[in-house]
Structure 1
Amino acid sequence: MIKIQSITKSFGDKLVLNDVTGTFEKGKPNLIIGASGTGKSVLLKCIVGLVKPDHGQVFYDGRDFFAGDRDLKIEVRREIGMLFQGGALFDSKTVEQNVMFPLDVLTRMKAEEKIERVNFCLKRVGLENVNKKMPSEISGGMKKRVGIARAIVNNPNYLFCDEPNSGLDPQTSVLIDDLIQDITQDYDMTTVVVTHDMNSVMGIGEKIMFIYKGRNLWEGNKNDITHSGIQELDDFVFANKVMNSLRDK
C-alpha cells in the first residue's frame, strides 16, 4: 500500500497541489483522474520521487520515502515499475534491449537470465517473436505493451502508469486496461494509473481519486462515481462520456 499525506507543491506563485491526502491499495488498479492541468501528473511525479513536494509525506508500505536516507530511496526505487505516457521506448534499441534495460541498470543477472526474464515478460503481455524489432516497426498498442513488459521486468511491488491509453483506439485501450488489471492482480502489486479516460474508469476503477484544482475532492470506486453528489465530478464524468462517445463513432 502507498499512503500520501498532505502533499503540497507549487511552481513559483502557482499552487499545483494543495494538501492532497489518500491511499493506494495493493492488488487493485488505483486511478487518479481529473481534467488536464489539474495536478494529476505532478502528483504522480511526487509519489515516485521525480518531484519533491514542498510539504507532505509519501509512505511505501510504512516507509517514509522523503524522510528516508539514500539507501532507503534506492531500495524503494528498485521496487518501482513505470509506464510512461507514449511508452517512452528508446528508438535506437530493439524491443529486447528496451525491456532488458532495467535489468542492465539495476541487477547483476547473467546474460542468459536476462534473456529468459525478457522473454517471459514479453510473453506475459502477449508479444512473442518481436525481440529484434525496432520501436518504429511496431504499432502504438504494441509499444505500450513493450512499455508494460519493461515496467514489470524487475518484479516491482509498485507499478505507475501515466496516461497508458493516450493515442490508442478504443479496442486497444481496453486491451491495455485489461492487461494492467490482470498483471496487478496476478502479482499483487500496488498500481497507480493517471488517466482521464472514462472507459478506463468504468472498466478497471476499483479505487479512484478525483483531483480538482490541485485538491483531492473525492475518493471511491466505479460503482459510486456516477452518484457522488459532487458537481465538479459530475461535470467531469459527463464531459468525458460525451467525448468518448464521439471518439468511438
Structure 2
Amino acid sequence: MIEVKNLTKSFGDKTVLQDISGTFEQGKTNLIIGASGSGKSVMLKNIVGLFKPDSGEILYNGRNFVNADRDTKTDIRREIGMLFQGGALFDSMNVEQNVKFPLDVLTKMPEDEKLDRVNTMLKKVKLENTNKRMPSEISGGMQKRVGIARALVNSSKYLFCDEPNSGLDPMTSIKIDQLLAEITDEYQITTVIVTHDMNSVMEIGEYILFISNSKKLWEGTSSDIIHSGVQELDEFVFANKLMRKVKAMNG
C-alpha cells in the first residue's frame, strides 16, 4: 500500500500539486487521471522519487519515502518497477537482455537463475520464445509487454505505469489493461497507472484519483465515476468519449 498525504509541489511560482492525498491499495489497479497539464505525471514522479515534494508524505507500507535515510530509500527503490510511456527499451539489447537488465544491475543472482526468471516473466506476458528478437523487430504492443516483464522481473512490490496505452490501437490497449489487471491480482502488487484513457478507467479502475488544476477533485471507483457530480470530471469523461468517436469515424 502507498499512502500520499497532503502532497504539494511547485515549480517557481506555479503550484502543480496542491495538498493532494490518496491511498493506493495492494492488489488493486489504482489510476491517476486528468487532462494534459493537470499534474498527474508530476504526482507520479513525486511518488517514485524523481521529484521531491515541497511538503507532504509518501508512505510505502508505513515507510516515509520523502524523509527516509539513504538505505531505506534504496530498499524502496528496489521494490519499484516502472513501465514508461514509450516502453523505453534499449534498442541495442534483445528482449532477453532488456528484461534481464534490472537483475544485472540490482542483484547478484547467478546467471542461470536470471534466465529462469526472465523466461518466467516472458511466459507471463505471453512472449515465449522472443528472447533473441530486437525491439525493432516486434510490435508496439509487444514492446509494452516486454516493458511489463522488465518492470516485474525483480519481484517488484509496486508497479508504476505512465500512459501504458499511449500509441496503441484500441484492441491492443484492452489487452495491455487486462494483462496489468491480471498481474496485479496474481502477484498482489500495488499498481499505480497514470492515464487519460477512459477505456482503462472503466475497465480496470478499482481506485481512481482525478486531478484538475493541481487539486484532487474526486476519488472513487469506475462504477461511481459517471455519477460523480463533479463538473470538471464530467467534462473530462465526455471529452474522452467524444474523442474516441471521432477516432472511430476516421478509421
1:70 aligns with 2:77: no
Amino acid at match of 2:187: Y
CA distance in 1: counterparts of 2:225 and 2:246, whole angstroms? 21
Structure 1 residue 246: deviation in Å? Answer: 2.3
Deviation sequence 1:192-221 (CA, Å, 0-9, x none): 000000000001011000000111110000
Deviation of 1:245 after TM superposition, in Å, equals 2.3
Q: What is the rounded CA distance, in whole Å, between the counterparts of 2:95 and 2:248 in structure 1?
A: 30
Paired with 1:46 and 1:248, the residues of 2 have a C-alpha distance of: 35
* 1:95-146 superposed Cα distances (whole Å, 9 cap, x missing partner): 1110000000111101111111001100100101111111111100000000
1:165 paired residue number = 165
Does the alignment pair 1:153 with 2:147?
A: no
Which residue does the alignment assign to 1:52?
Answer: 52
CA deviations on 1:154-199 (whole Å, 9 max, x unpaired) are: 0111000000000000000000000000000000011000000000
Fraction of identical pairs, as percent: 67
Shift of 1:68: 1.0
4+ aligned runs moved over 6 Å, structure 1 = none
Instruction: Tell me what 1:137 maps to.
Output: 137
The answer for the alignment partner of 1:211 in structure 2 is: 211
Would you say 1:80 and 2:80 are equivalent positions? yes
Q: Distance in 2 between matches of 1:216 and 1:131?
A: 42
Separation of aligned partners in 2, 1:142 and 1:25: 28
User: Separation in 1 of the partners of 2:248 and 2:136?
Assistant: 26
Alpha-carbon shift at residue 11 of structure 1 (Å): 1.0
Gaps of 5+ in 1: none
Question: Contact (CA 8 Å) 1:170, 1:248: kept in 2 or not?
Answer: no
**Aligned mates of 1:139, 1:51 — CA distance in 2:** 32
Any residues of structure 2 matched to 1:95-134 within 5 Å, and which? 95-134=95-134
In the TM superposition, what is the alpha-carbon distance from 1:248 to its structure 2 partner? 3.3
2:46 is matched by which residue type in structure 1? C
Separation in 2, partners of 1:222, 1:248: 23
Letter in 1 for 2:58: V
TM-score of the aligned structures, taking structure 1 as reference length: 0.99
Aligned partner of 1:231 in structure 2 is 231
Report the AA paired with residue 132 of structure 1.
K
1:236 Cα deviation after fit: 0.3
What amino acid maps onto 1:64 in structure 2? N
Distance in 2 (alpha carbons) for counterparts of 1:138 and 1:117? 21
Number of the residue aligned with 1:91:
91
Shift of 1:32: 0.3
Counterpart of 2:115 in 1: which secondary structure?
helix
Instruction: Give distance in 2, aligned partners of 1:241 and 1:91.
Output: 35
The one-letter code of the counterpart of 1:196 is H
Distance in 2, matches of 1:142 and 1:248, equals: 23
Are residues 1:10 and 2:10 paired? yes
Q: TM-score, normalised by structure 2?
A: 0.98
SS where residue 71 of structure 1 aligns?
A: helix
Mapped partners of 1:23, 1:108: distance in 2: 34
Q: Which secondary structure state, in structure 1, belongs to the residue aligned with residue 108 of structure 2?
A: coil
Q: Which amino acid aligns with 2:123?
A: K
Distance 2:98 2:152 in 1: 12
What SS is found at the alignment partner of 1:155?
coil
Describe the SS at the equivalent of 2:233: helix
How many pairs are equivalent?
Answer: 249
RMSD in angstroms over aligned alpha carbons? Answer: 0.7
